[in-house]
Structures are given as C-alpha cells and as structure tokens.
Amino acid sequence: MAPTPQQPASAGGPVNGPAGHLPRFPAGFTFGAATAAYQIEGAHDEDGRAPSIWDTFCRQEGRVADGDSGDVACDHYHRYREDVGLLRELGVDSYRFSVAWPRVQPQGSGAVNPAGLDFYDRLVDELLAAGISPAATLYHWDLPQALEDRGGWRSRDTAHRFAEYADHVARRLGDRVPRWITLNEPFCTAFVGHAVGRHAPGTREGRPALAVAHHLLLGHGLAVAALRGTGAKEVGITLNPDHLLPATDSPADAAAVRRARTLHNDVWLDPLFAGRYPEHEAETWGPLADGSYRREGDLEVIGAPLDFAGVNYYRPLVMADAPHEEPDPHRRTAADIGVREVGMAGVRRTTMGWPVAPETFTDLLLDLDRRYPGLPPLVITENGSAEEDAVGEDGTVHDADRVAYLHDHLHALARAVDQGVDVRGYYLWSLLDNFEWGHGYRKRFGVVHVDYATQRRTPKDSYHWYRRLLADHRARTGQPPRSEG
Ligand code: IFM
C-alpha cells in the first residue's frame, strides 16, 4: 500500500523498542556530543573578543526571549575543564565544538588575537588528554560585527575573509584537530537570518538573501582549499536538510514541497554534491533568483571533494501550498515561497513545538542517498530534543521524553545504516543546556542540566542512557575506548 502523504515511507515496524533494547552500530562507528561557541562560552568581552552579530542582535529589544544573550551562557570559557570531564565520563569518542571567529579575529580580517586562539588551544589539549578527538566547526553563526558592518555575507568579500580565518585556525590547531566542519547549517544564516529575520542579523531580504546563500557556499569552498593547504585530514560541512512531506496529495501541495525543498535542501546539496545550481529555483523565487551574485568558476570551488557531509536532523516538516504574502515577486523576501507549515497529526511535540517522528530520520537518509550519488560518507552532527527538565529533590533529572527521543532516533539511524546508507558517526545535541538563540534559555537541549544562577551541572537520565549505549557499543564491537578520530 502506498504511504499517504504524511506517512513515513520507511514503515517497517515500530522504532519504539523496549527501553533496554539499545540500537546497534557497526564497529568503527563513532559517537560524540556537540555544542557551539556562542551558545555556551560566555566571556563575551574577555581576552580581546569583539562583538559578533549575535551580540548585537541580543541587544535589540524584542529579538530574544527574556532579553537574554550569550554574555555568560554556560561560562564554558572558564569551566571548560569541568565540561571536558563530563565528556570523558560520558565516554564519547569525539567532541564537536565551534570556534568563535570574533575571538580569533575580532575585526573579521587582519590581525589575529593570540589570546582567542589560546583558549581553543587549551580546550583541544584538554580533550586530547581525556582521550577525546576534537571536531571543530569554524562558523556556527557568530560573524564578527565588523564584517557585518561591511556588508556581512551579502558581500562576496566575506567568503574570502572566511577562508583567511579558517587558515589561521587550522595552522594553530591542525596538528591536533583531525575533523573540520566549515559551516553549520548555512540555511539558518541565509534564510532565518536574512529572509525570515528571526536570527541575526535579523533582516528580511529578497535577492540579497540568495546572495548570502551563494557567498556562504563560496566561503565554504574557499575554506576547504585553505584547510587542505594546511594538511587538514577530514574536512566537511554541516547541513540541516529537511524531510519535507506534503499536507495532502494535491498537485498544489506537491509543488509547495518542491519549492520548500529548493529553499531548504537543494540550494546547498545541489552545488555541493551534484555540480549544479538548483533545478527549481526560478519556480521557487522567480526574478529574485537571477544568479547575479554568481561568477564563472564558483561551482568548481564550491564542489571541492569533501571527506564527509554533516547532517543535523530533529524533525520533519509538513508543507501546504499557501498564497504569497507579497504579490509583487520583486519585493518578496526569499522566505516567501508560497508555502505554509502545517502540524503533523498524532505525534508528540517537544518544547520547541517540533513533531517527534523518528521514522522520518530513516526516510531522510535513504532519500539523500538516493538523490545524491555523489554524497561523501555522512556524519550526524546534531540530533536531540528540548524538553521540560528540572532537577528533582533527589538531585537528578528524569528526562524520560529525551531518553525516548534519543532511543528512537538512534534506532531510526541504525535502520538507515542497515539499509546501506554510509553513516560514520553521531553527535548528540547537546552536551549542555545552553543559549537556544531566539528562545534564550527557555529551551533545554542538554543531556547535562545547567543551573544558570549557579552554573551547577547535573547529568540527566539521558546522559546515563547515552553512556550506557556507548559502553555497550564498545563492548560489543571490541572498539577500544575512544578512537583517535
Ligand atoms: O541549538 C541549535 C544549534 O545551534 C543548531 N542546530 C539546531 C539546534 C537546536 O535548535
């Protein structure tokens, strides 16, 4: 029987196994946890760090819930040793963190701030001493404000500045960091930041947002070349491809999904892994997608071979056709593509309001594998859930919903691997509760609870569950404790 539009195609038995039934992965599969600089570090004005676009955005009224900012966050800048201790106890093979560009190169170009690089130097050494392989993301949304003042990602020059910054970081840390991720979720930078306006810099633009997308890809390609030049071993990019389902089986909803797929996925995946610009961009954006921001040779730079593609996955999106907000196509924002998200029936939602549908994780991975024969091996660079968590009187956090989420999504991932998708590793999001962008500190994604008033860390039940999974994997596959990466 053909699946109905909202039904996952991979139906093959429930992924909800009994709590004790741990998912199984092949030998050599690696496990980690992820964070990002602005979300955890704090120390926003210490040791020469200059403001990023997120520091600016947080200071604008009404942008972030409760007027919060990453000024202090989890104070990881000062408490990184304790946090690496938590990672060591968790038993991860690898830790994915991001480097704050405005710490390393406060003006986004020119002079490097040695004290900024020193912090990552100390962090990397601490990780290695704990037997954990570092995985560094170079850009997780914190563009130096000085560069934004010169046009930010709208300007082609920023792509070149990014490559220069990548080179500085890799020259300092490359002898000890085996895995490099150029960009995290460029979709969010380009469209949530420049078309929806919910992320920094918070603008609602048309063609300039498409230029931003292109310049991010170009910056990625140039950074890959810079990283290769320093002898970097494993280089990739992290995307957040969406699993898009039509609300009904009408042709209009099918077209809505096609446009949404162009915006969410094809903009990134096609140039990176298929050597082309997206097939349906004219249908999606009309005159905005005039390609005026592209130059000959860009596709070759962007499509430089990668060692892995990072995939962040949290939830599916159900899309319906909807009238454009702005009738004049020349004045639309790049996010106004005539679609609307509709709820997914009959499933639980996390505190982000995201539907929990783990089967769609399998479906997404199978779909990517089928659509892009040129994909390198995949690494899941983020997956997790925000839940209502509180430290109980017994001093523990019983986050059963998160345990179920992780359990079901890891089973869904194992199912994709069993069906032949080449996935090499998984990073849980996130090690710590942290600054969840426009939601401030209201959403908790961590497997470790953070009391922001005292900075006390409390491992949740999900931390202990993940620890058990990693220990089971090692015992079963004979994998030595923590790989070299
Ligand atoms: O917290 C974010 C992260 O910075 C990027 N990926 C999604 C996470 C949860 O929203």
**Ligand 1 atom, smallest distance to 188 CA:** 5
For residue 20, the model assigns a pLDDT of: 59
Could you tell me if residue 172 is inside a domain? Answer: yes
Q: Is the CB of 436 under 6 A from ligand 1?
A: yes
Could you tell me if residue 7 is inside a domain? Answer: no
Could you tell me if residue 2 is inside a domain? Answer: no
Rounded to two decimals, what is the model's pTM?
Answer: 0.96
For residue 481, the model assigns a pLDDT of: 60
Q: Whose CA is nearest to atom 4 of ligand 1?
A: 36
Could you tell me if residue 483 is inside a domain? Answer: no
Could you tell me if residue 50 is inside a domain? Answer: yes
Q: Is the CB of 385 under 6 A from ligand 1?
A: no
Give the range of the structural domain holding residue 380, as residue numbers without chain letter. Answer: 12-477
Q: What is the 3-state secondary structure (H, E, C) of the chain?
A: CCCCCCCCCCCCCCCCCCCCCCCCCCCCCEEEEECCHHHHCCCCCCCCCCCEHHHHHHCCCCCCHHHCCCCCCCCHHHHHHHHHHHHHHHCCCEEEEECCHHHHCCCCCCCCCHHHHHHHHHHHHHHHHCCCEEEEEEECCCCEHHHHCCCHHHCHHHHHHHHHHHHHHHHHHCCCCCEEEEEECHHHHHHHHHHHCCCCCCCCCCHHHHHHHHHHHHHHHHHHHHHHHCCCCEEEEEECCCCEEECCCCHHHHHHHHHHHHHHHHHHHHHHHCCCCCCCHHHHHHHHCCCCCCCCCHHHHHCCCCCEEEEECCCCEEEEECCCCCCCHHHCCCCCCCEEEECCCCCCECCCCCECCCHHHHHHHHHHHHHCCCCCCEEEEECCCCCCCCCCCCCCECCHHHHHHHHHHHHHHHHHHHCCCCEEEEEEECCECCCCHHHCCCCCCCCEEEECCCCEEEEEHHHHHHHHHHHHHHHHHCCCCCCCC
Q: Is the CB of 142 under 6 A from ligand 1?
A: no
**Ligand 1 atom, smallest distance to 36 CA:** 4
CA 39 – ligand 1 centroid, Å = 9
CATH (domain of 224): 3.20.20.80
Q: Is the CB of 158 under 6 A from ligand 1?
A: no
For residue 7, the model assigns a pLDDT of: 44
CA 234 – ligand 1 centroid, Å = 23
Q: How many domains does one find in the chain? A: 1
Could you tell me if residue 4 is inside a domain? Answer: no
For residue 11, the model assigns a pLDDT of: 36
Q: Whose CA is nearest to atom 1 of ligand 1?
A: 436
For residue 407, the model assigns a pLDDT of: 98
Q: Is the CB of 382 under 6 A from ligand 1?
A: yes
Q: Is the CB of 185 under 6 A from ligand 1?
A: yes
- The pLDDT averaged over each successive group of 10 residues in the chain (485 residues) is 42 41 97 99 98 99 98 99 98 99 98 98 98 98 98 98 98 98 99 98 98 99 98 98 98 98 98 98 98 98 98 98 97 98 96 98 98 98 98 96 98 98 98 99 98 98 98 92 49
Q: Is the CB of 36 under 6 A from ligand 1?
A: yes
> 148, 185, 205, 281: which is the annotated catalytic residue?
185
Note if 41 is an active site residue.
no
For residue 479, the model assigns a pLDDT of: 79
Note if 382 is an active site residue.
yes
Could you tell me if residue 6 is inside a domain? Answer: no
CA 385 – ligand 1 centroid, Å = 10
Could you tell me if residue 41 is inside a domain? Answer: yes
